[in-house]
Amino acid sequence: MISFCFILFLLISILTSSYGQVTCPSGWVLNGESCYWFLPYFNVGIWDTWDRCNAHCTGSYPGATMLCVNNVAENEWIISKSEGHNTWIGYTDMLPYGGGKGTKQYGWVTGCSSTYTNWESGEPNNSGKDEDYAYVVYYRGLWRDGGPRDQSFCGCEYNPALTTTPSSRPTTASSSHPSTVSSSRPTVAPSSGPTSSPTATPSFTSSQEDVSE
């Protein structure tokens, strides 16, 4: 009887452990309980506007969204993956997520319930009355607001426990690009590329210009 109970206990432990283990598809990186995928700018030079990044994440991966920052540790981790580039996050005052254009009443994209913020002093300032999207400044970790034509690094994330695992990475994305980009946004070239990258890269391109102020 003791032997049977012991075997049953081991079986339950193994099944519970396997069920609770978080795994990510090829090309995604696990951090905490979420999986992340950053567009491979080091291979094909991809930077995107906030809207294009949002559309790419939600349209290409079931249950995925733009980056949702829950705490300082995740904020620092995102910086470590940006390799010298400012990075869009899923935070905006544009409807339906925030209070509306120019209100500075920011909200997270659907699926993110974070209460964490890390605005730089004086931000969001809605400079030129046209900045409604948040990004992480790579060299400080603080947040600033950017405009609709500004371009920066893009990443996506999803929680395997709450969403359907993506079956594949995207092969295409929206073909429309803004005709102009902010001329005051200097490009910061990455010093080195990562040692590995997703097995397939998107087929679209974008101009290599970072958001900065």
pLDDT at 69 over 70: yes
3-state DSSP helix/strand/coil percent for the chain, to nearest 5? 25, 15, 60
How many residues are there in the chain? 213
Report the chain's mean pLDDT, rounded to a whole number.
74
pLDDT at 51 over 90: yes
> Is residue 92 a contact partner of residue 143, using CB atoms and an 8 Å limit?
no
pLDDT tens digit sequence for 20-37: 567 887 888 999 989 998
Mean pLDDT, rounded, for 1-29 = 59
Backbone angles phi, psi at 51, to 5 degrees: -60, -40
pLDDT at 61 over 70: yes
CATH number of 34-174+184-213: 3.10.100.10
- Going by pLDDT thresholds of 50, 70 and 90, the confidence category of residue 41 is low
Amino acid at 154: C
**Structure token digits, residue 142:** 């603080």
Q: Please report, for the chain, the start and end positions of each structural domain, with discontinuous segments joined by +.
A: 34-174+184-213
Residue 7: its pLDDT value, please? Answer: 55
Residue 45: its pLDDT value, please? Answer: 55
**Which of the residue ranges 3-7, 113-117, 168-172 would you say has the lowest mean pLDDT?**
168-172
Residue 110: its pLDDT value, please? Answer: 85
Residue 25: its pLDDT value, please? Answer: 78
User: Looking at residue 93, what DSSP letter applies?
Assistant: S
